[in-house]
Amino acid sequence: MTADHQAPRLILAPLKGFTDVIFRDTFAQHFDGFDSALAPFITTVASDRFTERHVRDLLPHQNARMPIEPQILGNSADDFSFLARHLFDMGYPDVNWNLGCPFRPVTKKRRGSGLLPFPGLVDEFLDKTVAAAYGVNVRSVFRWLADFANGGQNALLSKPIPGRPPKVSAEEMRWLAQAVKDHTPLQFKFVFGLWTLSLIAALIEREFGKKLSLASVSRIMKLLGFSAQKPLYQAWQQDATLVRAWEAKVYPAIRAEAKAAGATIYFADESGIRSDYHTGTTWAPVGETPVVEVTGRRFSLNMISAVSPQGEFRFMLHDGTVNAEVFREFLKRLLIGATRPVFLIVDGHPIHKAKLIKTFVEAQSGRLKLFYLPPYSPQLNPDEQVWAHVKRKVARQLVQSKDEMKRLTDHLASASYRPRPPP
């Protein structure tokens, strides 16, 4: 193998029904050698609902031992993009498109390997997804893939940009890619925390003494494989040492204690949604900011829920402020019908540590035990994904009353995360 080629990577192949998160985690504990794994595919069929089974299998904190890449099976570019957005929201930068499944019921519907005999459909799919995302035609994508396969990254960087000679050399482009990938603007003493074209242009001018237009900067960043994306925010107060200790020692100890006690582990969280909350994007003519009409009345709804690693899901809606008394009521409901002890993992909010709660927990004589996440670490709580999903869906409905918001929230939470009995 020459220095021009990257070292080979060993990827664990997916097998639906077998290589789920439990298999991958157990495998990684006892064996090494694999660099990453492909998760069993998610189908684009019924893509308006991202099931709790998919969420449970792909939760990042449960896949910490072996990096994974989700994959989607389907032939609809629109449905693919719909599911991909959910996966990007979960923190996955890459998504695999399954073109290899040979199962007859799949191939006869022109999905998996059944799509390969139809290159026109493949081209159309790529044109709507990959190519459209980077603002180029599909032939350019295939040409770049061929160049990379034959000559690696240098083959991409060494190609001259059509027209005038490039102002930025290949070596400078490599430095720029590393700088944007591994550093924030604040580390370069810029006052803004996100990389924009203007800041990248300013960085190029400061480091190399070369002034480029924003269009030229955009072209360079796309050539380097970068795109404008919604970032995942991490609190600056977060203690990375505590997070690593939680993942490596604390949570495994909780799981071991739960197994010994025959307890069910839940992650719990509180959230709220307002009638004027909105998310997502909408298409509109260039230069005309779209306006979405909403109700003039402003109302809100608070929610509490708990989800287990096995997919059990319990929730409660509350009209008013969530305090220690409300949280205690949720704990009472959580224990109704429980045949095993409940180990509940929550953040360090004061209501979770209130004297009222401690007294209630002690009164349960071991039926209920509370554990606390490291400060400022919402990414460790899978219940965050539940209400993120519900809030996105509710925000797109433009609800007109609090009763309508309650009905819609209750329906979405119930339909999207159906509880199932523990093994």
Type of residue found at 67: P
pLDDT of 262 > 90? The answer is yes
Q: DSSP string covering 183-252, please? A: --GGGGT-S-SS--HHHHHHHHHHHH-----HHHHHHHHHHTT----PPPP--TT--HHHHHHIIIIIHH
Pairing relation of β-strands 36-38 and 11-12?
parallel
Question: pLDDT tens across 312-371, in order?
Answer: 888 888 777 889 999 999 999 999 988 999 999 999 888 999 999 999 999 999 999 999
As a whole number of angstroms, the distance between CA 291 and CA 275 comes to 16
Band the pLDDT of 258: cuts 50, 70, 90.
very high
pTM of this structure: 0.41
Q: What integer pLDDT is reported at residue 261 of this predicted model?
A: 94
Contacts of 391 (CB under 8 A, 6+ apart): 271, 273, 277, 279
Q: Which residue has the tokens 């040409």?
A: 143
Q: What integer pLDDT is reported at residue 419 of this predicted model?
A: 38
For helices 170-182 and 138-157, angle between their N-to-C axes, nearest 10 degrees: 100
Question: pLDDT tens across 32-79, in order?
Answer: 888 888 888 888 765 445 566 777 788 777 777 888 888 888 888 878
Type of residue found at 144: W
The larger pLDDT score, comparing residue 50 to residue 209, is at 209
CATH 3.40.50.2000 fits domain 11-156: no
Contacts of 418 (CB under 8 A, 6+ apart): 51, 52, 311, 313
What SS3 state is found at 390? helix
- Domain positions in the chain are 11-156, 160-223, 240-416
Contacts of 287 (CB under 8 A, 6+ apart): none
* 301-325 as b/e: b if 16+ CB within 10 A: bbbbbbbbbbbbbbbbebeeebebe
Q: What integer pLDDT is reported at residue 412 of this predicted model?
A: 45
As a whole number of angstroms, the distance between CA 207 and CA 288 comes to 36
Q: Which two tokens stand for residue 302?
A: 């608070």
Instruction: Classify residue 60 by its DSSP letter.
Output: G
Question: pLDDT tens across 71-106, in order?
Answer: 888 888 878 877 777 777 666 778 888 888 888 888
Question: pLDDT tens across 1-44, in order?
Answer: 344 445 677 889 888 888 888 898 888 888 888 888 888 888 87
As a whole number of angstroms, the distance between CA 122 and CA 119 comes to 5
Band the pLDDT of 401: cuts 50, 70, 90.
low
Q: What integer pLDDT is reported at residue 367 of this predicted model?
A: 94
Do the Cβ atoms of 70 and 93 come closer than 8 Å?
A: no
As a whole number of angstroms, the distance between CA 203 and CA 186 comes to 12
Q: What integer pLDDT is reported at residue 341 of this predicted model?
A: 95
Q: Hey, what's the torsion of the CAs at 302, 308, 313, 317, to 10 degrees?
A: -10
As a whole number of angstroms, the distance between CA 113 and CA 102 comes to 6
Q: Rounded mean pLDDT of the chain?
A: 75
* Number of other residues whose CB lies within 10 A of the CB of residue 28: 17
Judge residue 104's burial from the number of C-beta atoms within 10 Å of its C-beta, 0-12 exposed, 13-18 middle, 19 or more buried. Answer: exposed
Q: DSSP string covering 275-291, please? A: TT---S-----TT----
As a whole number of angstroms, the distance between CA 202 and CA 196 comes to 10
Architecture of domain 240-416: 2-Layer Sandwich (3.30)
Give the long-range contacts of residues 274-280, CB within 8 A, separation 24 or more: 274/298, 274/299, 274/300, 275/299, 275/300, 275/399, 275/402, 275/405, 277/391, 277/394, 277/395, 278/395, 279/391, 279/392, 279/395, 279/396, 280/392, 280/395, 280/396
Q: What integer pLDDT is reported at residue 31 of this predicted model?
A: 85
Q: What integer pLDDT is reported at residue 157 of this predicted model?
A: 66
As a whole number of angstroms, the distance between CA 33 and CA 150 comes to 26
Q: If phi over 0 gives left and psi between -120 and 50 gives alpha, with beta otherwise, what is residue 46?
A: left
pLDDT of 209 > 50? The answer is yes
Instruction: Classify residue 395 by its DSSP letter.
Output: H
Q: What integer pLDDT is reported at residue 260 of this predicted model?
A: 95
Question: pLDDT tens across 128-179, in order?
Answer: 776 555 555 666 667 777 777 787 767 766 455 455 555 778 788 888 888 8
Q: What integer pLDDT is reported at residue 363 of this predicted model?
A: 95
Quick one: what percent of the chain has pLDDT higher than 90?
Answer: 15
Band the pLDDT of 422: cuts 50, 70, 90.
very low
Q: Which two tokens stand for residue 241?
A: 């040492």
Q: What are the beta bridge partners of residue 58?
A: none
Band the pLDDT of 405: cuts 50, 70, 90.
very low
Question: pLDDT tens across 280-292, in order?
Answer: 444 444 444 544 4
Strands in 300-307's sheet, in edge-to-edge order, are 313-318, 300-307, 264-274, 342-346, 368-372
pLDDT of 123 > 50? The answer is yes
